[in-house]
Structures are given as C-alpha cells and as structure tokens.
Amino acid sequence: MDLHTPDLAPINFQDIIVERPVERVGLIRLNRPQALNALRSQLMEELINALQSFDHEATIGAIVITGNDKAFSAGADITEMANATLTDMLNRGMIERWRQLRNIRKPLIAAVSGHCLGGGCELAIACDIIVASETAKFGQPEINIGVIPGAGGTQRLTKAVGKSLAMEIVLNDRRLTAEEALRYGLASRIAPLDQYLTDAISLAAQIAARAPLGVQMGKEAINKSFEMSLADGMSYEEKLFYILFASEDQKEGMRAFVEKRKPVWRGQ
Ligand code: HXC
C-alpha cells in the first residue's frame, strides 16, 4: 500500500498531521514527538476538530489515529496540569472536550506503538479498534503523580480487562505488553513495528469500503452495549436493524446477493 500519496487536507495544525493515505481513509498523526505526544489542550482541540471534519466528509469512511513508533502518547500534558487548582481544572473543562470523541460516528482505529499511557491509553481505548505494534506498552500511571485516570481508565479499561487487572493497572501502574493487550481484548491485532500502521490503514480501508450506514449503526450498537442493560441493548440493536430497511444500501445489498453481483454502496 502506498502511504505517500499527497496530503490533501489543509495543513493548519501544529500538534497533529492530517492525511488521506488511501481512498476513504482519514489519518491523524499526533505530532509532538519531543514530548512523547503528550496531550496538551491545543493537541486535543486540533484532534477533535480534525475528527469532526473527517466525520462530516462523505468521502471518508474510517479514521486512523496514530502517534509514532516510540509513543502513541504518554498521556495528558503534566506540565500543563502541574500547578492547576480544582477551580482551574473545572473551568478549563479539560475532559469535557473528550466527550466529543464519543459523538464521532465513523469507525476510529488507533494504531498504537511504544508508550500508550494515561490519557494516551484512554484515547486508544476510546477508539473502536486498537491495532498494536509489538512494542506497544499500555498503562495508567497516574497514581505515580498523585491522581487517577480521568477519561475512561477506570471505566472503559475495566470493561475491557476485568476488575482485578484494572485494579493492578490503576492502583499499581501495571503495564500491559502488546501480547497481553491482545489476550485481554484491548487490542484486536498485533503487527511488527514496520507494519502496524499499514495494517491499521488497510483495516480502515476495508471497513470504509463496506455499507456506510451499516458500519455506522454497527459501531453505535456495539458501543451502546457498554452503557445499557442486555435487554435495552438488544432492543436498541433491533431498532437499528429495522431502521436499515429504510436505506437504499439494504435494498442494494440484498438485491446484489440475489443477483450474484457485488453491491455498490451509496451510503443512503
Ligand atoms: C508532559 C511529557 C509527558 C507528559 C513525557 N513527557 N511524558 N511531558 N506530559 N505526560 C516529556 C518529558 O518531560 C521529556 O521532556 C520528553 O517528553 C521525553 O520523556 P522522557 O521522560 O525523557 O522519556 P523516557 O525516559 O523514555 O520515559 C518515557 C516515559 C516517561 C516512561 C513515558 O516520560 C513518563 O513516565 N511520562 C509520564 C507518563 C504519565 O505519567 N502519564 C500520565 C499523565 S496524567 P524533556 O523536555 O525533559 O525532554 C494523564 C491523566 C489523563 O494522562 C486524564 C484524562 C485526560
């Protein structure tokens, strides 16, 4: 796969790089290598902006977020928070911004290598799929600086790895290797260092080539399973299933099956 196609997005970001490596895939690279991609406010603001604009672009079907080989991200920017008071933190609405991540409708794939810590780990877990390099290391080391995770590290992580392991990670800074992340279902695949990003982009391209509304509703239904009882979740899934019968893509998909041809998706 050629990852060197020209960058078509306006280049007005400082902390991220936005690219379109292949058709229908948006790629966002966290780009503060000197600070191991620490998530300062500016970076988070740019990230949310870029995600929202890809989410609104009809030509994009899936989005990959990555860092670099050494670090996906070492977490929230500690220097930015070090002197903050409670009132500062409340007024800044630092984690408020993260809620907007949940509203992105297109699939988000985190391509993770190296340090994936604190808020960085929470960002990866907030994505829908994690593709890890063999060197990826996941952890929530906030306890070392006197706090706890603030954007899902005690919630989403616990749902992924279970209570006992989550306790070790949050209370005692246990780090997970890529192999462990795969075993516990945090990541769905591991690739060699020179391959993980290409694999993530290729996975994104495959998903982006599928029925867009189906992909969007599948993502929504799966994510609801973390928030609802089984009965409510089943009912939610059922409604989304029925809703898809109002789409042209459902007609096209089923007709194409019957006619033994490939469907042409229109996202309508
Ligand atoms: C600000 C950071 C940073 C961070 C690293 N740097 N992590 N700056 N915030 N989270 C900076 C270092 O200060 C240093 O800058 C440069 O990046 C390289 O880091 P080193 O420590 O020199 O690298 P190394 O020795 O390889 O150690 C890597 C590391 C360590 C193990 C990842 O940097 C580390 O422990 N970082 C902190 C990890 C952490 O505690 N994360 C949780 C943050 S709280 P200089 O200028 O000295 O070269 C959090 C809360 C989330 O995430 C709440 C919800 C959003």
Question: What is the mean pLDDT of each successive set of 10 residues along the chain, which is 268 residues long?
Answer: 44 92 98 98 96 96 98 97 94 89 96 98 98 98 98 94 97 98 97 98 98 97 95 97 98 98 96
CA atoms within 13 A on the CB side of 107: 30
83 Cβ below 6 A of ligand 1: no
**What is the CA(178)–ligand 1 centre distance, in A?**
20
Q: In the chain, which segments carry CATH 3.90.226.10?
A: 16-208
141 Cβ below 6 A of ligand 1: yes
Which residues are tagged catalytic?
76, 119, 122, 142
Distance CA 112, CA 22 (A): 19
Q: In the chain, which segments carry CATH 1.10.12.10?
A: 212-258
150 Cβ below 6 A of ligand 1: yes
Helix (H, G, I), strand (E, B) or coil at 65: strand
The reported pTM is: 0.95
Residue nearest to atom 47 of ligand 1 (CA): 35
Question: Which pLDDT does position 12 carry in this prediction?
Answer: 83
Paired tokens of 146? 């006197």
Question: Which pLDDT does position 10 carry in this prediction?
Answer: 52
**What is the CA(105)–ligand 1 centre distance, in A?**
31
> What CATH code would you report for 16-208?
3.90.226.10
DSSP 95-161: THHHHGGGG--S-EEEEE-BEEETHHHHHHHHSSEEEEETT-EEE-GGGGGT----SSTTTHHHHHH
Answer whether 39's CB lies under 8 Å from 27's CB: no
Question: Which pLDDT does position 11 carry in this prediction?
Answer: 58
Residue nearest to atom 13 of ligand 1 (CA): 35
Angle between the 230-243 and 212-224 helix axes, to the nearest 10 degrees? 170
> What CATH code would you report for 212-258?
1.10.12.10
State how far Cα 258 lies from the chain centre.
Answer: 35
Residue nearest to atom 53 of ligand 1 (CA): 150
Question: Which pLDDT does position 54 carry in this prediction?
Answer: 97
State how far Cα 124 lies from the chain centre.
Answer: 5
- Count the Cβ atoms, other than its own, within 10 Å of residue 174: 16
**Whole-Å CA distances, 213 to 10, 54, 204, 241:** 27, 16, 15, 11
**What is the CA(237)–ligand 1 centre distance, in A?**
41
Angle between the 248-258 and 212-224 helix axes, to the nearest 10 degrees? 110
Contacts of 181 (CB under 8 A, 6+ apart): 130, 132, 136, 138, 187, 190
Q: Which residues pair with 17 in a beta bridge?
A: 29
